[in-house]
Chain A
């Protein structure tokens, strides 16, 4: 390879190359860290919520007649929902994962006033909650119908049994070994909760919460004018059933309205809107930056080809093939890019260390830098290809024709 003389020739007019090298370095540093942020957001978005998102939707029934018998209304509704063909199961609940609104409680390992040791999202469900959410029960048992309580007004009634997530169990009982089933903890200072089952995963309604994996099912149905139903359909039937069910519930009782019909997928989109727009913005920024750098390379190479037209002709006269001329500019670009990329990689790591400390970003994955390198090398080579091809078409006769 002819790296030696190319390098020495570049050294004679280093200014332009230095600027482009620097631009590549900055692009590299920004690209890598943008990737890191995007990757973090994407992995956050990639966490499963624990429910069967693709086939789940929710709606709310709001009664407007003052003294309606809410309990019978809910029973009728649930009966109807569960008997609708295509519906796997349905439950009345206060919230569901990704909804961004819900209930949480501080938890204690001992009764009495004191500092809580953990906290958890609360989902009030009956014994159909497990199947409706599509959760994986890894230990213990589901609620029995007898364990499900109805609560008409007071907030201070708590059932004594719960199903909790694995993550909550580990947080509550960090030193515990073996099954968590049978363990007891307390809410509200003195309401005991006995663990009857453990599920693998069920996210809290707030994806941004650090304790998002900690939640529990409480076997309680709250009777009020407002009830939220979560409905799980057979795969692929959600969209068909949604309007049907909305219609059916509306028609079944004229003293309430049905609203807030939304799919779990919609809820996910909304919950991660910030993250997905961040990814879009960063993609755009990286694309723009890379394009600008690519154009800079095209510009420098074009200028360099025009400036060296004569020497290209001389090289051709001395026996350079067209390929050799193209290769010359490719190698030249490779050298500039490599220097920029290496400096950029160092900058990128420095910037990442800073961001990890300042913004608690997760450190770079090992493959981000090699990927960014590959992208920038490719951009450089593609950008220089046009000018290089033009250079190879310079006539060797230029060596004798112009002075």
Chain B
């Protein structure tokens, strides 16, 4: 369970303060599939980064699985990311120097799994995304859709409770986007909580719940509202 209450995030540079999130409150329950939409610059990525413990919040409270995140030190935060959260990024973010097997292996090593356990999980998760025959390929030798599948396999191999995706289909064509969404649907059906940021309303509608973010705040609402806002933004 994810629970944010009055979370604010302020980016300060020498000259400007940007309030990326203001009084942002949201609760996501176990097993939900939530899509997050909103205009560019509205704070979607900022929300996801805070949810995924990639960034600190400026004020407010954030509980993940009943733990107050602000009380954790860097090492504990790393461990929470490693054990509880899987990330999928718009630009895939595979490590270019590592082959598919080693890429999926990265979080598992940080987890401290034994070699045979890692191997089992890697093969299983790569099999699940349908790339079992490409284990020794480098990322550059795969298509974008395939790379994103590897990224999903990497996110899932540690069996995280939460899957956070920022524009996971942003760099993919419609067909590939569809198949990635199918995959996310399956993963969610298997019990993983998913929060997905997307621009595309068509994809957002495949989630069970839609969140609309505007000016750093949540505004639950109908798709029409989204459209109107996005047109305005």
Contacts and interface: CB of A to CB of B under 8 A. Distances in A.
B145 interface: no
A174 interface: no
Contact of B110 (A318, A399, A403): A318
Interface residues of B, number: 35
B97 A13 contact: yes
A403 B90 contact: yes
A152 interface: no
Nearest to A10: B97
Contacts of B53: 396
A322 B102 contact: no
Interface stretch (A73-81, A309-317, A335-343, A383-391): A309-317
B106 A9 contact: no
A5 interface: yes
28 contacts: A4-B102, A8-B98, A9-B102, A13-B97, A311-B96, A315-B110, A316-B81, A317-B81, A318-B87, A318-B106, A318-B107, A318-B154, A319-B78, A319-B82, A319-B83, A319-B107, A319-B158, A320-B78, A321-B78, A324-B78, A324-B110, A396-B81, A397-B49, A397-B55, A400-B49, A400-B54, A400-B89, A401-B45
A323 B74 CA distance: 10
Among B49, B93, B96, the most chain A Cβ lie within 10 Å of the Cβ of B93
Contacts of A320: 78, 82, 106, 110
A318 B48 contact: no
Nearest to A9: B97
B75 interface: yes
Contacts of A240: none
B5 interface: no
A12 B99 CA distance: 10
A314 B82 contact: no
Interface string A1-22: 0101100110011000000000
Contact of B54 (A5, A324, A399): A399
Interface of B: 45, 48-49, 52-55, 74-75, 78-79, 81-83, 87, 89-91, 93, 95-99, 102, 105-107, 109-111, 138, 154, 158, 166
Among B82, B90, B97, the most chain A Cβ lie within 10 Å of the Cβ of B97
Nearest to A11: B97
The 7 nearest A-B residue pairs measured at CB: A319-B82, A9-B97, A12-B97, A318-B107, A319-B110, A321-B78, A396-B54
B87 A317 contact: yes
Contact of B89 (A321, A322, A323, A399): A399
Contacts of A9: 95, 97-98, 102
A319 B90 contact: no
B74 A321 contact: yes
A323 B83 CA distance: 17
A395 B55 contact: yes
Contacts of A4: 102
Nearest to A396: B54
A114 B102 CA distance: 83
A317 B158 CA distance: 13
A310 B45 CA distance: 17
B87 A399 contact: yes
B45 A400 contact: yes
Nearest to B91: A403
Contacts of A322: 74-75, 78
A401 B44 CA distance: 12
A302 B87 CA distance: 28
Contact of A397 (B54, B102, B106, B138): B54
Contacts of A396: 53-55, 81
B79 A321 contact: yes
A8 B98 CA distance: 7
